[in-house]
Chain A
Amino acid sequence: MKLTVAGNKKEYEEGLTISKLIELEKVETPEYVTVSVNEEFANRDDFDSTVLKDGDEIEFLYFMGGGSR
């Protein structure tokens, strides 16, 4: 199946969960990443159980501090 992850369309195995995708994409600080699927935020409690479907658009949103000191 094809997923669009952070704007890039790529081929993935069927049955992929959000948790598995986070692992596969080597997401930095996975315990603090916000994930959106088709412009809806996914609940962290559902990362393990949410199976992604062909055509899904996934975004990872990261905490980013920095700026002043």
Chain B
Amino acid sequence: MAFTDEQLERYSRHIILKEIGVKGQKKLNNGKVLIIGAGGLGAPAAMYLAAAGVGTIGIVDADAVDLSNLQRQIIHTTNDIGKLKVESAKETMNAINPDITVNTYHEFVTSENINDLIKDYDFIIDGTDNFPAKFLINDACVMAGKPFSHAGIIRFKGQLMTVVPGEGPCYRCVFKNPPPKDAVPTCKQAGVIGAMGGVIGSLQAMEAVKYITGVGELLVGYLLTYDALSMEFHKIKLPPRGKGCAVCSDTPSITELIDYEQAACEWHPGDKNA
């Protein structure tokens, strides 16, 4: 289908890029991205992907907007307090770009629902705030062969990596098992600078755009860290995929999805997989 005049104008700054052009913009319009978590990371990612014209965007979040979210979750406004985050996010995204379809999923990801959630999407963005969800997303995406962007933010720091199953290491290759509950600080306990979600979430959106359009090099095989205080980005090269990884090696020991909520407490750093 040809672009309307309005679409040509809306996407003109993309279309003028020789790497994107009309062809790349069409890929974006046909692209499907699932964003898990409509918070600090998911908010900017969702807004940029909506603005970019990614045709179908799914948002998964079980929470409602809280006053303490607004310092960083810029997709929600003061008037949205109490509203479901997925609804508030959808309204903002459609206000930015009425062209796109936003699917909302008012739920937490679990081993029961995650395969259904990810199956129709091309690329997944992990914008969750807890390790059980991050490991679940990793394992489900590895098993289903879905590429995804992992990220985390805390205090003045953030980091991300892109996982393309079969092509590079996965999150579990690096981090093995979730840490026990409360062993490492969360944003709620430790705080996070608001713009950090903007920096890292926008980089996640960038990876989604690059994956869909096939432009450039993805952050596969690297962990990119950002320290706002020293204003340094550092790209850590990771060992190749699968070497002893419980989920993405050629002989994985994990073949079923795990809901870590309880098991997290039973993990010890001395364990075999640690």
Contact = CB atoms under 8 A, between A and B. Distances in A.
Interface of A: 6-7, 29, 31-32, 34, 36, 39-41, 44-45, 59, 61-69
Given A32-B269, A64-B152, A65-B134, 11 more contacts: A31-B183, A32-B179, A32-B183, A32-B184, A36-B236, A64-B154, A64-B158, A65-B184, A67-B37, A67-B152, A69-B188
Contacts of B41: 66-68
B252 interface: no
B197 interface: yes
User: Which of A31, A40, A59, A63 counts the most chain B CB atoms within 10 A?
Assistant: A63
Contacts of B188: 69
B42 A68 contact: yes
A32 B239 CA distance: 18
A69 B270 contact: no
B127 interface: yes
A40 B239 CA distance: 5
B38 interface: yes
10 tightest A-B CB contacts, nearest first: A64-B152, A68-B39, A68-B37, A68-B129, A66-B187, A67-B41, A66-B153, A63-B184, A66-B154, A67-B127
B139 to A, nearest CB: 16
B40 interface: yes
Contacts of B174: 34, 41, 61
B237 interface: yes
B39 A44 contact: no
Contact of B186 (A7, A40, A66): A66
Interface string B118-155: 00000000111111001000000000000000011110
B152 A69 contact: no
Contacts of B236: 36, 59, 61
A9 to B, nearest CB: 14
B69 interface: yes
B93 interface: no
Contact of B151 (A29, A61, A67): A67
B188 to A, nearest CB: 7
B234 A65 contact: no
A65 B151 contact: no
A29 B152 contact: no
Contact of B183 (A6, A29, A59): A29
B128 A36 contact: no
A69 B63 contact: yes
Interface in B7-56: 37-42
20 contacts: A29-B183, A31-B183, A31-B269, A34-B174, A44-B269, A59-B236, A61-B174, A61-B175, A63-B184, A66-B129, A66-B152, A67-B39, A67-B128, A67-B129, A67-B197, A67-B201, A68-B39, A68-B61, A68-B129, A69-B187
Interface string B178-202: 0100011011100010000100010
